[in-house]
Amino acid sequence: MTIAEKVSKPKSVPFKKQPLRIIAIGDSLIYGYGDPVGGGWVERLRRQWMSPDSSGHALYNLGIRGDRVCQVLERLEPEYRYRGEFRNQFPDLILLSVGVNDTPQVGHEKGRNLTEFATFQGQLHTLLQQAKNLCPALFIGMVPVDEQKMPFIDCLYYTHREQYRYKEATKQACQKYHIPYLDIFDLWMARGETWRTKLLGRDGLHPNELGYQALLEDILNWTPVLQLP
């Protein structure tokens, strides 16, 4: 090798992975309602990723209490378009968590579902297809409710029966669109009464601070999240 060749040969530069831009969109489980200590699992994860020794991923909390699938569908693309941070760039990943507010029966335990099941299925498929077209997505399922504390706000009857029916439809739809689905409902139910006695708040619907910490740990130990850069 000549001197000229030695001078012109570029030096190898270590590849540095760029932090991801991620939006978490959905209902109160995304918002973190019921956790005055840590602000919910999304806020806890955001703080963890901001630490000097962590990934540096940017995580935007776009949760709204009471949102159903139809409402998340309406705001998904506009929210996505406004969270790029840099010109002509968009988020790298969408975290979805929605569906529990579609399940309750109104007025009494045999009342109509707040979102009729067939309508829910149609809206959900549209939501997942839209998310898939925007960027990679992950879906975090709903936590089980405490049926003994129903009705919620004196008129909404959440039950495990309806939760299971709607979450199974969600899981199957995610499989169709190749979107990883974390089945929190089955995961928590398999742990016996711990989730009911220690992880839920007084309203029987939202996790407490221990519940959100447990939820965060479940998410961090989930393979699709472990495989993030």
Q: How many structural domains does the chain have? A: 1
Does any domain span residue 129? yes
Nearest by Cα to 131 from 176, 184, 64: 176
How many angstroms separate the CA atoms of 2 and 7, rounded?
9
Residue type, 173: A
Q: Tell me the DSSP string of 73-114.
A: HHHHHHHHHT--SSTT---SEEEEE--GGGSPEESSTTS-BS
Portion of the chain with pLDDT greater than 70, in percent: 90
pLDDT for position 117: 98
Full residue range of the structural domain in which residue 137 is found: 18-224
pLDDT tens digit sequence for 81-98: 888 766 558 899 999 999
What is the biggest distance separating any 2 CA atoms in the chain, rounded to whole angstroms? Answer: 86
Does any domain span residue 208? yes
Dihedral (CA of 159, 137, 34, 221) sign: positive
Looking up residue 204, the CATH number of its domain turns out to be 3.40.50.1110
Does any domain span residue 69? yes
Does any domain span residue 182? yes
Dihedral (CA of 143, 148, 152, 157) sign: positive
pLDDT at 16 over 50: no
Does any domain span residue 31? yes
DSSP state of 159: -
Does any domain span residue 57? yes
pLDDT at 53 over 90: no
pTM over 0.85: yes
pLDDT for position 86: 62
Does any domain span residue 5? no
pLDDT for position 139: 98
